[in-house]
Amino acid sequence: MVSLFCGGLSVETKLAPYFKEIICNDKQEYLIELYKAVQGGWIPPDELTESDYKYIRDNRDENKALTAFAGFGCSFGGKWFGGYGRHGVKDNHAKERSMCEESKRALLRDINILKDAVFTNKDYRDVVIPEGAVIYADPPYSGKMAAYGIKEEFNTNEFWDWVRDNSKEHMIFVSELEAPDDFEVIWERQVLRQLANCNAENFKANEKLYIRKENI
């Protein structure tokens, strides 16, 4: 299985038990460095102060794994350095865990599930896809790349053309809200989304899984 935009690994950890080989790719360089580091034994910190957070933000290349952990795991709404996250969650004993502690817990759990995965940092078009591989793609929403720490915008039309071309050799599943007419919905579920930042109003949307009609 090849995941072209692995992001926070929420789907990849669910799919892992069904595949012998998994490639998790993402264009966010720091994120992939984080996954590789944890896979190799690096342990994220239990606590990160606001001054730590600001220092890491301003010195991003000192430790790229730590930068990704701070930039996503310790930020409001998981937005790339979107502001220091002060609040965590309460466990079964009503003890509040910090956002840093909660992110560390989730990250170690996910990488343990994906301990044998291959992590790559490429543009989706440059990923080397094994023959007969199943491809899962959850592309970024158009105009939202800044939330991932990537400057250039994502070209949605080019992506769908890429899917069309590669669907001739691979089964490709695309997670999106909408798709061109030559794609068919095979699954959908209502999910809660946020707008541009974590302080914005939440809204409900139907997340859908598409494949090209010719592959049905």
Structure tokens at 46: 């239990």
CA dihedral angle for residue 138, residue 139, residue 142, residue 146, rounded to 10 degrees: 100
CATH fold label, 2-27+122-215 = Rossmann fold (3.40.50)
pLDDT digits (tens, 9 = 90+) for 82-92: 999 987 655 55
Q: Could you tell me the CA-to-CA distances from 209 to 22, 151, 178 in Å, in that order?
A: 20, 27, 9
| pTM of this structure | 0.89
147 CB neighbour count, 10 Å cutoff: 18
125 band by pLDDT with thresholds 50, 70 and 90: very high
- Look at the block and give the residue holding tokens 């949307």: 205
Question: Above pLDDT 90, what percent of the chain?
Answer: 78
- The yes-or-no verdict on residue 200 having pLDDT over 90 is no
Domain locations in the chain as residue ranges: 2-27+122-215, 46-113
Sign of CA dihedral 106, 68, 134, 164: positive
The pLDDT of residue 150: 80
pLDDT digits (tens, 9 = 90+) for 74-117: 999 899 999 999 876 555 555 567 999 999 999 999 999 999 99
